[in-house]
Every structure is written in C-alpha cells, then in structure tokens.
Structure 1
Amino acid sequence: MKPIALPFIFILIAVHACFAQQETVASPAKHPVYPVTYPDLEVLKKAVAPLMQQSVKAVMDQVPKASGIFYTGCPHCHGGAQNMNVLNWKPGMGAAVRCNYCSMTFPNSQFPDDHETVIIAPSGARQVYRYYEDSSGHQYYFEAHAWYDQWVWIRSMAEKLAQLWYATKDNAYGDRAAVITGRFAQVFPDYAVRYDYPHARVQFFPADQRWPYKGLTPYRGAKWYWWGYGDIATDLANVFDVLSSGYNWKRMDAFTGTGTDKRIARDLLRLGYDFTAANPEAYSNMSPGMYAGMIRVGRILGDPSMVHEAVKRFNAFFSKGFFADGWWKEGTTSYHNQTIGSLMAVAAALKEYTDPADWKEDRLNNPDLTKASPLYGKALRVRNEAVLPNGRALPINDTWGFSQGKKTDSTHSRLWPALGNAAIGTGSGINQVLLNLNWSGNYGHSHYDNGSILFYAAGQELLSDIGYTHSKYRGWTIHTASHNTVVIDQQNQNEGTTEHPATGRLLFYDDQNPHVKIADLDASPAYAAAAVYRRKLIMVHAGAGFDYVIDRFEVSGGQEHDWFLHGMCEQEGTLQTSVALEQPVETLVPAWGGRKAPKTQYDTHPKQFHAYAYLRDVKKGTAAPSWTATWNYDSAGLRTHILSQPGTEVFRFRSPSVRPAKEDDNKLNNYMRNGIMQRHSGSASVFIAVHEPFRKTPWIESVKAEGNTLIITYRLNGKRTLDRIHLGAAEIRVVSSAGWNYASGNAYRGTVQSVVHEGAQWSALLDRQVPAVDYIRLDLPDGGTYYGAVAAVRGNRVILKDDPGFALDEKGRVQFYTFPQKKQEGKLRYTLFTPDSK
C-alpha cells in the first residue's frame, strides 16, 4: 500500500528563542525539590537488573522514537472492553504484542501489519506507523502499541534507577536514568500529536502544532500520553529533580550531546507544559491531575509562573465544578473520588512551597490548598459517606460497581440536595439498611435514571444499580429500563443539557423519626411527556434487622408505563412470583426500536440498539390485585408485595448484570440477573409496592389496601404488629400497634425575603414567623427545589446547617456562586412542614 506522507517539518529557532525567554524568569531550584522515597533497595535492584546488564547506549535505544498508540484491541477474540489493556508488551518482545485474553501474538500472517502511515518529523526523521485494518475499517496498531507499553515501562525504570543512584551515588544507575531522560528530551519534539480514542481511527497532527486540532475537543490531541491532560512528563521531572541534586550531566555528552540537563528542561519538561497549557481550561475531572503536574514541574524547574498558573486554576475549580453539598458536578461517586483524590495531590505538590525572593507578583508563602475552599472539606466527606454498608462506592450514574472500600459500622441517612440524591439509612452492624433515591441532572457521566432506587439490606445490594462500564453493553446500563424506575412509552428519559439538566424536584424529606423516613420526589423533568412522574418512598423501621419500604410511583402522560424492578448484580439467584408468568414473549422491543447487537460502548441509540433487546427469556402473565415477587440468594432475599391496577400485564425476564463480567465483552452473556416489569396502559398509572428484605425467610404476614391506607401486618419476637400507613395527598401518617405514631404534617408556604451569609452561618429571612422545623424547602424560581437542614428557627429567621450555594442579588434574583453558577429570575419561595401546620 502506498504510504501516506505527512510533512511535519518546522523551524525550531523561534520556538527555542521563546523557551530561552521563558528560562530567564526561572530561579535555580535546590534539588531534590521533593523528598526521595523508595522501597527496599534490593527490590529496586531486582527490577532494574535487566537494564544493568545492558550498555548505556543499549538502554538509550529502549526509548521509543515515536509516540505510541494506547487503544488497540484484539482482532482475533475481541476480548476486554474499550480496546483498553487488551494487548500487552513486555521487554524482549520487540515490536510484537500478546493478547491478554486469547494469548495470540501480533502481528502474524492472519493479522499482518500491511498498512502504514509515514510521518516526516520536525528533525527530518521518518516515522512509520504500521497497522492491520479489518474489513470494517478498524485499525490495529500492534507495533505502535508496543511502543506505548515500552514508553510506560522505560519511564518507570528511569525513576527506579534515579532512586538507586540517590541512595548509592553509583553512576551505573545514574547514567542509565540520565540517558533515558535525555533521550526522551531528544525525541519528544518529534513526537506526533495524535488522536488516540477507543474504536476510532487514529488521527495524526504535526509535532509542533498546539491546540486547536481540527475536529477535536480540548485535550483530545495528545503528544505524550493518550490524553492531553497527561502531556506533562511528571515522572521524568522526578528523575530530573533527583539527578540534579549532584549527578554530573557531562557524563551524558557522549550519548545525548552537551547540555543534556538544559535540553531536558527545555525540550521535554517545558515543552510538555506548553503543549498542555495551550488547551483551554475545561475544569473537568481530569484537570486537577494536570494542575499537580504544573506545580511539580514548575517547582523543579524553578519557574513560579507555572506554579501560580496551577494555583489560579485550582482556586477557580471548586465553584465551577462542585455543588454546594460537596458533590462533584457529574454526580458519580467514581469521578467524585477521582477528582478529590487529584485535588489532594495538587495540595501535596504545593506543600511547603514559597515563591523565590525575586518573584514580583502576588506571592505564595507555604499555602495550604486544603483550606482554599470549604468545598474541599465537603468533598472529602462525600467520599467517605457515599458508600454502601459493604464499603462499595454508591453505584449511581457512571460509578464502578466494583469500587470497594471500608465497610461501615452504622448507616445514617444522607441528603445531598444540591446534587439531587438521598441515601436513606438506619441500623448498625449486620442490620444496616440503605435505600438510595437519585434525581441528579445531566452534567456528564449521567444515566437516564431520574427517580430510580437501589436498596441495600440483609447484607446485600438487593435492588442493584449496575453503575459504570466501558463494555459493549454500556447502552443497556445507561438506559432507563436497566434501572429501578418507570419507562414511559419504551423511551429513555430526556437526555438533559447543561441549561436544562432534567433534575428532579424533592417535594418532601424527613429522616429524623426513628421509625419512619420519607422521600417524596417529583421526577417529571425527566420526561417531556410526563404531567406526573412522582415517587414516594417510606422506609419503616420495625425492629433491628427488620425494615420495609413502601414504594408508590404515580405516572401521568404517554400511553404505556413500564415499572421495572431488577435484582442483585452479584448473584442471579432465583425469582418466584405468586402469579403465573408462563407465556413466552419473543421480544418487548417496540416497532420503532432496533434489535441490533452492540459491538462497542458507543452503540446506544434506541432506534438501533433498544434496551428491551437486552431482556432475555421473557415470559408474561396478568397481574392479580395483590401478588408477590420473591428473589432468593445465598444469604438473603427480597420479597416485594405488589398492588396492581386492573389490566396490568406482568413480565419476568433475565438481563445482563454486567458487573461480574469484569469489563470483558466476551463474558457479558455469562452473567444475568432476574427482574420483573409491570406494564399499565392508559394516560395514568399508580404502582404500589412494599419491599421486604429478609435473611432466611420472609417475615411480613400480609399487605392490604383500604383506599389510600396500607395495612402491613407482621410478627416479630412472637408479637403481631399492625402498621397503618395513610398516603394522603397532603400528609403521610403512620399508626403502629407497637405504640408509636408518625405524621409528616401539612405545609407552610411563603416568600423568602433574603438569604444572609454571616461568617460560617447562612440564614433565610422569611415573610413571617414560623415554628421550629428540621428542614426547609427552598422553592427556586425555575421550579427546582433545595431541601436544607435547619439548625435553628428564630422568629422569621431560619438558620441553615449548610451553605445553599446561592444568594439573592440586589434585585432579588437567585444567583448561584457554586456549580452550576446560574442566575434565576423570579421570587424565591419556601415550604416547610410541621404536624400542626395550617
């Protein structure tokens, strides 16, 4: 095949002149700037032993001359997911790679490197990117992926060698660390900028071209890493820092030429910084990692301008990226934890820094970035609190379901009103229960799951949310139908935008009563067709280890309402229903939906890949007025008592649980979970259920309805108890024969006169005096709500426990100073509930 010539020749004189000017502002740094830490020296020596057996020149030759390609899948078995970590290279394999799933080595006669792209680099060097292309046009860069893995490996070796030199001052180690770093400084200016993305054709851009790149969003063109955020060579900056504490750089003259240390500073570290900083600031979840690199390189090079640029971005980051309750804007525990972890690294990188004496602008004198914003501390608390009792990160939106942390000793309710999520909980030890309700908007990495629940009890996540995946079944995991909520007319909920994120509205919330905890949600922004889309959840604590949930979902709008309930992801278990579900159903995919099998994570459009196509072994029947569905697992179970409207159809099915496949596309069909779906046709539907978790056997004797009152009968410790739950339009009341009562109260409503911030205290001044309450609902002009916990009430002044993230400007408009930093026209109103409300 005729090669494609991409002339990348450019003139370096002007660029080097620019670098020389920048270097004049640098002040010599005392090296090592950062403390040198390392494991046992014998462990380090063992790791670098293969390189110690090679000459310095041979070690230098291990540095790839061209930038590698990360996302390369296996054309033979198509294992793994996202073309990520599928092929593997190890020292001694040359230009070959091996599949981690089928063990085939590439390239080979079946999958040859018979295509190539030729690049003429700025130095005039000829870089050849060979690849195999399948019949669909997908490219496989075997050799370039070997370069990528080699790039990762040789950099890690450089750090280990530098650590050994520092500990021993043996130049045999120092020479090899220096030659690797110096060689990278030689070839990095020639490294092509490339677009390296899963399942997409690789694009190359000139090695001297900085942002923008035609057709690409910021940071998607990368010169060093596969993403522009990582184009600062932080690890090699560490090597440079260590060696600059006393290594004789003239030892490199015979290998990488004179002035190797200056070339590293200019052509690797500073050039990488300049390429990265050329991208516009996006305040994304990847940004803090870039800030840490800026600070580290700036301190090592003695350039405070780099440090100040990172600190400026860091200080602006919180209000642009975090809700007032401390959640990262994307509403996913995984990305929240990643972001706050990276912010911690930024603070650590700046620790004990003071500007040099000749720095003339605003000075930094050993600043503590952890105190730069109160949102920092809130974000840390969210990381610790957004977990299930078993330690798993709360798997909402794009959160990895296998993220595992420390188990909790007790569970307490958490309300995150700015994000739009409530984790209602109680219990300690083995009796912890948590019911999660999500209504967060779409600000990236979200799912179509407004009003969905997950339920943890009896030591298991009994009603699961799959969470995140890069597998080809991603379309299933983000679709409304894979969540425990209601689908209208077989369509996804609205996608939402930054301007109209489809965030739900919390109408009522109470977690203060020891027996009853309630969340009442208007999730109608999720569907344009929904006049009503409202879920009311009441968790009743009958005794230690005995809790049940009343679940009422009311829907109006559209023609068909499908109520989904999905069991555990970790175990398929068994599902039994008290109504006969025996009639096979070929498919539930509507006529307009697609039944194509997905091949990548991007195959998500319902007209081609409808979510109902993932439902397997579907069988249907007719609902009874009262019936049950029971999931049984190894050590726990869930029985759901269902009160169905006349004419309701019931379907049982198996669907991919995804998590246990561990991101291997070839194993997705090996793991299923059991689910049910109720379908009610007509303009309005009401779905009522009572979820009863158990360890060995169910314990509720009966569930009956008398009008709007549910009667739950159960026997504990030999004593029969009867709970009467009245679901009124204006008030919820619970009367238990165990001797306790609950009333949600009716509503006070009015107008907020002002929102006052004094020190660390926030108050809402209302239009009249109000009684003592635990919560106040602030009703925003755009129809949204902020449900704030109350610290005290003093006449018409309601003191909030936390910062609501907004204030009223001089014209009475709501202005958010935390994310999403919007302004809303109209009056700010309030609603509060007390048992004696009028």
Structure 2
Amino acid sequence: MNPFKISLGLAFIALFAVGTASARQSVPDNAHIAALKKAVEPFVKLSPEAIAALVPSYSGLNFVGCPNCKGGAQDMGVLKWTYGMGDRVKCRFCQMTFPNAQFPDNKENVITTPGGGKQVYRYYENEKGKAYYYEAHAWYERWEWIQQLAAQLAELWTLTRDPAYADRAAAILGRFAQVFPDYAVRFDYPNRPVSFFAANQKWPYEGMQPYRGAKWSWWGYSSIPIKMAEVYQQLQSTYDWSRMDKTIGPETDRKIVKDLLVLGYAHVAANPEAYSNMSPGMYENMIRLGKIINDPKMVADGLKRFQEFIKVGFFADGWWKEGTVSYHDQTINSLNNVIKTAGLDPAAMPFYQKAYGVSRDAILPNGRKIPINDTWPYEKVKGKGTDKTVSHLWSALGNAALGTGEGQNQVLLNVNWSGNYGHSHYDNGGIILYALGEELLSDIGYTHTKYRGWSIQTASHNTVVIDQRGQDVGTSEHPATGRLKYYDDTDARVQVIDVDASPAYKVAKTYRRRLVMVHVAPGKDYVLDRFDVEGGGTHDWFLHGMAEQEGKLETSIPLGSPLSTLVPEWGGKQMPEAQEDADLSGRRYHPYAHLRDIQSGKANGRWTATWRYDHSGLRIHSLSPQNVQVFKLRSAAIRPAAEDDNKLDNYMRSSIMQRHSGGKSSFITVHEPFSKEPWIDKVYMEGAEVIVRYQLDGKTRTDRVRLNDRGVSVRSTGGWQYDSGKAQSGLVEAFDSSNGKWRLQLDRDAPKVDFVRLDLPGGGTRYYKVVAADGKWLQLQDDPGFSMQGNHLKFHTFPQDKYQGTIRYTIFERREQL
C-alpha cells in the first residue's frame, strides 16, 4: 500500500458538499464583545472614508534596523510603529524615533506604477551604504495593524449585526482592492539591499529565488491575503455591499475578490513549486481561499501540491528533510492545518503519523527540543518534559538519541551524522549530553544574530576539527551524511553507537566516533567516548559546556600559557557584523576568532576537566595521546543574549580543546555527570581496555570496557556484562512489503537479532529494528521507505536516492547464542 496516497476526490467532494463556505458562527460572549468594542471604539468614530485612508498606499518593508544602536538581530522587530505616529518609527532598544536630524531621510527611490503613477520611497543611507527605510517600515506595521482592525470589526459585525462595524471593515477591504494592484513587488530580506519590481510582474524576478519577490507580505509564501479573505468571508453574504458605492465604488465585493484575493493568489502561484518548509502554509491558504470564494481549481491546486509534498519532503524515519526539530515542527504543524482545512483524515495517512511522532520524540527530558542543526533552543513541548527517557534511532536522517533513566535521573546522549540539506550545521560526529536536569554539553542551536556563522561552524560543536577548517559543505548528490556502523539500545545497562563520519571531510581517512553509555545506578551514568581521526595534519577535539550558564571550569593539569588567538595564519580575524557574515572557508571570518581567554598547557596521559554549575556538573577523564596540547577557552553562548546582537558578548560558555598532530589521533574520554560531587574514583587504561572504578552500595566496582574493530564488550565486577556480538554479513536476496509487513530475505537462515544494517553501494548504510526472524526472512518494525527489484533499490522517501548493485546486510549475533 502506498503510504502517501490520499483520496483527493473524496476530500474535494467533502469540501464543496455544503457549497460556498459560510461565515464563522461565534457564541456570543458579552465580555468578549465588550473588549472588542473598546478596542475599536476610536475608529468607529471615524468615517469609513477616513478608515480607508489609513490603508497604506504603497508596499511596506519589514526588515529595517536601527542605525543608532544596531540592537536586536536580523533587522527584525527592531523599529516599532503605533497608531498616531504617522510615518515615523521608534527603536524598541534605544527608544530613538526616526527619521531625525542625526539620521534623516537623505535619499529616495521612485517607483513607477503600471498606470504611470509615482511612488516615492524615502530612506536614510549611512556612510557604508546601508539603507534604512523608516517610512516604508511604518507602512508595513500599519499594514499589519489595519488588517487586525478589519478582523475585529468584521467579528463585531458577525456578533452584533451593527452596520457601523461592517462599513469600516468593508472600507478597509475595498481600499486594499484599490491600491493592491499598484503595490510594488519587492525583495525584502535582512541586511540585503531592497529590490523593487513592477507591480504587475510575476515570477521570475531577476536574481531572485522563488518566493523571494513578494507583493503582499514580505515573503511570497505568505502573500495570499488570507486574513483579508476571512474578513471578506464574514461580510460576504450578510452585508449590503451597496453601502460602499460612495466610499469605494460600485461592486466593491467583486473588486475585492478580483483585485485583491485572486490577484494575490495569482502572484504566489506563479512561483515554481519548491516543496520548502514554508510550502504547506501556502497550500492551506490556497484551500481556504478557494473555499471562501468558491473556486474549486484553487482548492485542487493546494491539495495536489500537498499530496506531492508528503512524498518528496520526508526521510523514511519521518524526519523533515532539513533535519532540524524547529523546521520539522513548523512543517508538521502546517501540514496538520492543511489536513484540517481540507477535511482529510490523518488516520488514513500512516506516514504522516510517523512524521508527527518525531515532534513528540525529539525532545530533551526537560521538554526542550533537541537542538539539532537549526533548532531554536528555547522551544519546549507543552507540559513539564518527560518522566522517562528512552532511546530513538533515526537512521535515515543520521541521528540517534540514546536515553535512560526516570525523573531527575534522566540521561540523553544525542549523536548527529546527518547530511547537508538546508538549515544544517557542520557537526558530523557531534554530541549533546543532557543529565541531571541540565544540558551539560550543549549545541548552541539556531540563531539569527551576527554570530550565526559561529553557531553552524564545526568548531562550535562537540566534535573534531581537521586542520582548523570546518567540515565540507555537502551537496544534494553528496550530502556528507555519515555511516552508522553499529547501534544497540536494547540492554538495560549499556547502549552503544558507532558512527563513521568520514564523509564530513574529504581529507579524512578515518573520522569515527564510538560511544558507550553505561547506566550504573539512578543518577550514576557515564559515557565512554572514543574519537579516532586520520587525515590532515592537526586534529582539534572540542568539548563545549553548558550554554545556559558558564559555571566554573577547572583542570587537573596547569594551563598557564595565555594565547591571544588560535586563528591560523591563513584565517581571517575579522568578527562578523551580521548573520550573513558566515564564512565557511574561514579566510575572512575564521571561527577560531570567537575563541577567547585562551590558556594552554601540555598533557601526557590521564587528566581531568570539571565543569561546575548551580545544580550539577560534569567531569571528563581524558586518556589523551602523548604530547597533546590542551586549551581552556571561552566563547559566546548566544542563547542567553535572547537574539540581541548587543548582548552577545555578555554571555560566555567554557570549553576545552585538545590538539594533536601527527596524522593519527585517538581521543579517549569518559564523561561523568554528577549532582554535587564527582563519583568515579579513577579512569585508566590496561592494555586495550578502559577501566572505570567507582563506589556503589559501599563496595568498589570496576567496569572494564573494550572497544576494537570486533565490537564492544563491558565486564563489571558488579556481576553483569555486555557484548555487542559477532558481525555476520551477506547478500540481501529480496524485499517483500505485502500484507502490511516489511521483510528482508537474507542469503542464509537468520538468527534472532535486534537490528539489521543495510550496506548500500557507495558506502552508505541504513539501520533497521528487527521484530521477528523466520528462516531467511527478517521482519522489520517499520516501513524502510524503499522498494527493491533484483539489484535495484529505490527509496520513495527523501532524498529519493537509487542504488544499483549488490545490497549487503550486516547483523550482530549475541555471543551467548553462539
């Protein structure tokens, strides 16, 4: 069964079974009505003509910053306008009002309308050539404000049937219909020069990507005038439109549909379909508008795009293709709105349900979203987080969250090896560690501040940098996705992951991270971390502490040699001034320029570093290669600055970097979260084994952990042991997806195993949970997202990759079964 198939015909019938959408019916609420009346009272005193005159005659501009204090980030939400300010604006940071004598309008841009009229955009240009369109920003905020006023007036008409409210809502609608055809299309983007295009020009716009040229909102995706359509819906069949004959002109309602609603749709629909995270919101608006104005073709357009979107936009494990929780949630929520608007049944879409589950599962124990790639670190799910943490593997995306524990003792270790498909960070092999109620090893997450370039660079993550250069920029054809070699979350005490992240660096012969998470007792968990690197000349191993607070960082070895910078000779020491200053090459803005208060020293053998915070701490036990140089340093934490560029340098986080040169490096570390004081007595090596000694229930316990190419084993004097098992490989002979089951046929009888790894031509891997073994057949827990015919394997999920050649498998049989 095709998991993407949706009965558009049935949905279409349901949409129009009741004819044209009727106005929303509200249950009268006297308090609500009184509040609405109070909000609109000053404007009901104005005539409909005076209200119509408040509608901006020109397109406004959203992204305008403050030339005085340069507060905020991305030139967004910096300047504010309120009713009564005319065409002036005020900075919400420094409180300066513009324009003024210090920052006057000193230039203008004259736009010619299709009818030959002139529109004048005045602006201030500073000495660097940056333009500040104060007046146009006031228009933009007035454009937003008067739409909200129209919505309040229309709702009062629905609730009271007082024509005074309807007249003014209709005047706003009618005036928009008069001026909108002449609204210039513009490119409005943070820290970029504004570009204007002819009001009647549709896509394409020279030098612009699809949807970047917009006529209604600042972005093409949101340029269907849906709020005005909803206002029209409330007046549509209940208002006497002849009352607008003198204010706007005859047939005002027809003009609203033709010159505002349909025209707005036409400008948006002219863009080529991009299947981006913004697309579902556009589909919803197409369907809603089509229902309001009774246009079946418009509805069908939105539904068709929606159906195709589900097929092309998600990995087999349900993740949105960009691999960020924030954009995944945005996309899923928008799709959910499409489903509700179209009257579809989400239960009939199993793949949508899988994607919806990612939003539920990709969270830290405190309820925050796991800050993978461009994920806002402030976002939380409803409620207080999780009572119990369990592990999740998202093999198709390239991410896993190992979890254990309950209540305050929950631990989550996130590992990323995802590719570069947009909104990505260059952090293959990077980890995030949450324990004891805190994100002890942080990823900055998403930011629009001027330090955005730092937030996506390899050096700002908990991974290894080769030769002071960030990881390679992947492409759609070669996305730099790592390869999962081994994964096991089935043991009560030990969870293991082994990732070959070498596609992240072309120069890397080896770039492999193996992590063993050991649960000793509630509140006592540790992680053995081995990162092997070969290729290039210098390997810099980074570990960054908590982003929410800096705490105190101490080391067992002296680090007394201060350094002014770690930027290499070829790197740029310039600091960024805007989020666009993200130089992945490092030649102008090298990421190491963000490293401050640098202290260095030498380490030979074992040493520790300890972060102490208000309620928890983390100690690392490093079993370094010989002659490792250790650096203690600070860098901008970004999160506490709350997206204000001027506050970024007020909040730091403390970090450790180890540098090893000589071709090959093996960084072996044990991470030890603790509540009040560290609890592990000693970590050392005996031959190839890492020994972890600690006290439990008044007794000394010793865990012996062995990591090698044959696998992972842990033996504890506490009376338990773990073994990853013996690897067996062979050929996949067939794949069957009939009867709602997904089964792989191997070239031999299959033993009882928990997972199977597919080894794809070209080196890629996929990992799948096994629920049953029957002869040569392994039954998988979920749809793997592909079909297979002979030696041809094709994914029907993102990125729709195809493979031709031998498809191999690898399974790991437990040694106790041998």
Q: Same fold by TM (over 0.5)?
A: yes
Q: Distance in 1 between matches of 2:27 and 2:452?
A: 41
Query: SS where residue 246 of structure 2 aligns?
Result: helix
Q: What residue number does 1:145 align with? A: 137
User: Are positions 1:296 and 2:288 aligned together?
Assistant: yes
Query: SS where residue 255 of structure 1 aligns?
Result: coil
User: Are positions 1:775 and 2:755 aligned together?
Assistant: yes
Equivalent position to 2:171, from 179, 182, 194: 179
Question: Does structure 2 retain, via aligned residues, the 8 Å contact 1:701–1:714?
Answer: yes
User: Are positions 1:819 and 2:798 aligned together?
Assistant: yes
Q: What residue number does 1:441 align with? A: 419
Q: What residue number does 1:808 align with? A: 788
Equivalent position to 1:636, from 616, 619, 629: 616
Q: What residue number does 1:548 align with? A: 526
Q: What residue number does 1:618 align with? A: 598
Q: Distance in 2 between matches of 1:63 and 1:592?
A: 54
Question: Does structure 1 retain, via aligned residues, the 8 Å contact 2:183–2:215?
Answer: yes
**How far has the Cα of 1:114 moved from its partner?**
1.5
Q: Distance in 2 between matches of 1:372 and 1:527?
A: 42
Q: Distance in 1 between matches of 2:611 and 2:409?
A: 19
Q: Distance in 2 between matches of 1:27 and 1:106?
A: 53
Q: What whole-Å deviation, never above 9, does each CA across 1:62-107 have from its counterpart, x for those lacking one?
A: 1000110001000000011111111000100000000011110000
Query: SS where residue 427 of structure 2 aligns?
Result: coil
Q: What residue number does 2:402 align with? A: 424
Q: What residue number does 2:222 align with? A: 230
The residue type equivalent to 1:193 in the other structure is V
1:377-396 equivalences in 2 (<5 Å): 377-396=353-372
User: Are positions 1:74 and 2:74 aligned together?
Assistant: no
User: Are positions 1:488 and 2:478 aligned together?
Assistant: no
The residue type equivalent to 2:430 in the other structure is S
* Change in CA separation of 1:696 and 1:589 when aligned onto 2, cut-off 3 Å: same
Equivalent position to 2:738, from 737, 758, 783: 758
Q: Distance in 2 between matches of 1:815 and 1:342?
A: 28
Q: Distance in 2 between matches of 1:32 and 1:596?
A: 59
Query: SS where residue 254 of structure 1 aligns?
Result: coil
Query: SS where residue 159 of structure 2 aligns?
Result: helix
1:551-630 equivalences in 2 (<5 Å): 551-605=529-583, 606-630=586-610
Q: What whole-Å deviation, never above 9, does each CA across 1:116-162 have from its counterpart, x for those lacking one?
A: 11112224432111101111111100000000000000001111111
Q: What whole-Å deviation, never above 9, does each CA across 1:649-699 have from its counterpart, x for those lacking one?
A: 000000000011111000000000000000000110000000000111110
Q: What whole-Å deviation, never above 9, does each CA across 1:364-383 have from its counterpart, x for those lacking one?
A: xxx43x24632210111000
The residue type equivalent to 2:813 in the other structure is T
**How far has the Cα of 1:586 moved from its partner?**
1.3
**How far has the Cα of 1:404 moved from its partner?**
1.8
Q: What residue number does 1:835 align with? A: 814
Q: What residue number does 1:660 align with? A: 640
Q: Which runs of 5 or more structure 1 residues have no equivalent in the other structure?
A: 1-25, 352-366
Q: What residue number does 1:32 align with? A: 22
The residue type equivalent to 2:679 in the other structure is W
Q: Distance in 1 between matches of 2:647 and 2:38?
A: 37
Q: What residue number does 2:482 align with? A: 504
User: Are positions 1:678 and 2:670 aligned together?
Assistant: no
Q: Distance in 1 between matches of 2:303 and 2:697?
A: 61
- When normalised by structure 2's length, the TM-score is 0.96
Equivalent position to 2:249, from 257, 260, 263: 257
Question: Does structure 2 retain, via aligned residues, the 8 Å contact 1:439–1:523?
Answer: yes
Q: What residue number does 1:467 align with? A: 445
Query: SS where residue 119 of structure 2 aligns?
Result: strand
Q: What residue number does 1:15 align with? A: none
Question: Does structure 2 retain, via aligned residues, the 8 Å contact 1:31–1:242?
Answer: no
Q: What residue number does 1:23 align with? A: none
Q: Distance in 2 between matches of 1:396 and 1:37?
A: 43
Question: Does structure 1 retain, via aligned residues, the 8 Å contact 2:20–2:293?
Answer: no
Q: What residue number does 2:5 align with? A: none
Question: Does structure 2 retain, via aligned residues, the 8 Å contact 1:318–1:373?
Answer: no
Question: Does structure 1 retain, via aligned residues, the 8 Å contact 2:28–2:159?
Answer: no
* Change in CA separation of 1:192 and 1:38 when aligned onto 2, cut-off 3 Å: farther
User: Are positions 1:344 and 2:344 aligned together?
Assistant: no
The residue type equivalent to 1:680 in the other structure is H
Q: Percent same amino acid among aligned pairs? A: 56
Q: Distance in 1 between matches of 2:117 and 2:53?
A: 15
Q: Distance in 2 between matches of 1:288 and 1:725?
A: 49
Q: What residue number does 1:375 align with? A: 351
Q: Give the superposed CA RMSD.
A: 1.4
Q: What residue number does 1:708 align with? A: 688
* Change in CA separation of 1:294 and 1:691 when aligned onto 2, cut-off 3 Å: same
Q: Distance in 2 between matches of 1:422 and 1:376?
A: 20
- When normalised by structure 1's length, the TM-score is 0.94
The residue type equivalent to 2:208 in the other structure is L
Q: Distance in 1 between matches of 2:251 and 2:737?
A: 57
Question: Does structure 2 retain, via aligned residues, the 8 Å contact 1:434–1:455?
Answer: yes
Q: Distance in 2 between matches of 1:754 and 1:91?
A: 69
**How far has the Cα of 1:631 moved from its partner?**
0.2
**How far has the Cα of 1:53 moved from its partner?**
2.4
Question: Does structure 1 retain, via aligned residues, the 8 Å contact 2:727–2:813?
Answer: yes
Query: SS where residue 174 of structure 1 aligns?
Result: helix
User: Are positions 1:244 and 2:236 aligned together?
Assistant: yes
Question: Does structure 1 retain, via aligned residues, the 8 Å contact 2:177–2:255?
Answer: yes
Q: What residue number does 2:628 align with? A: 648
The residue type equivalent to 2:289 in the other structure is V
Q: Distance in 1 between matches of 2:549 and 2:38?
A: 42
Question: Does structure 1 retain, via aligned residues, the 8 Å contact 2:69–2:94?
Answer: yes
The residue type equivalent to 1:814 in the other structure is L
User: Are positions 1:398 and 2:390 aligned together?
Assistant: no
Q: What whole-Å deviation, never above 9, does each CA across 1:200-246 have from its counterpart, x for those lacking one?
A: 11111000000000110100000001110011001011011111131
**How far has the Cα of 1:38 moved from its partner?**
8.7
Equivalent position to 1:528, from 506, 518, 528: 506
Query: SS where residue 108 of structure 2 aligns?
Result: strand
Query: SS where residue 737 of structure 2 aligns?
Result: strand
Q: Distance in 2 between matches of 1:58 and 1:36?
A: 29
Q: Distance in 2 between matches of 1:706 and 1:182?
A: 82
Question: Does structure 2 retain, via aligned residues, the 8 Å contact 1:530–1:556?
Answer: yes
**How far has the Cα of 1:754 moved from its partner?**
1.5
Q: Distance in 1 between matches of 2:131 and 2:557?
A: 52
Question: Does structure 1 retain, via aligned residues, the 8 Å contact 2:325–2:362?
Answer: yes
Q: What whole-Å deviation, never above 9, does each CA across 1:36-75 have from its counterpart, x for those lacking one?
A: 5797212222222221222211111110001100010000
**How far has the Cα of 1:35 moved from its partner?**
4.9
Question: Does structure 2 retain, via aligned residues, the 8 Å contact 1:456–1:462?
Answer: yes
* Change in CA separation of 1:818 and 1:714 when aligned onto 2, cut-off 3 Å: same
Q: What whole-Å deviation, never above 9, does each CA across 1:474-515 have from its counterpart, x for those lacking one?
A: 111011000000000000001100110000000000000000
Equivalent position to 1:306, from 295, 298, 303: 298
**How far has the Cα of 1:791 moved from its partner?**
1.1
Question: Does structure 1 retain, via aligned residues, the 8 Å contact 2:451–2:576?
Answer: yes
Q: Distance in 2 between matches of 1:45 and 1:34?
A: 19
Question: Does structure 1 retain, via aligned residues, the 8 Å contact 2:64–2:137?
Answer: yes
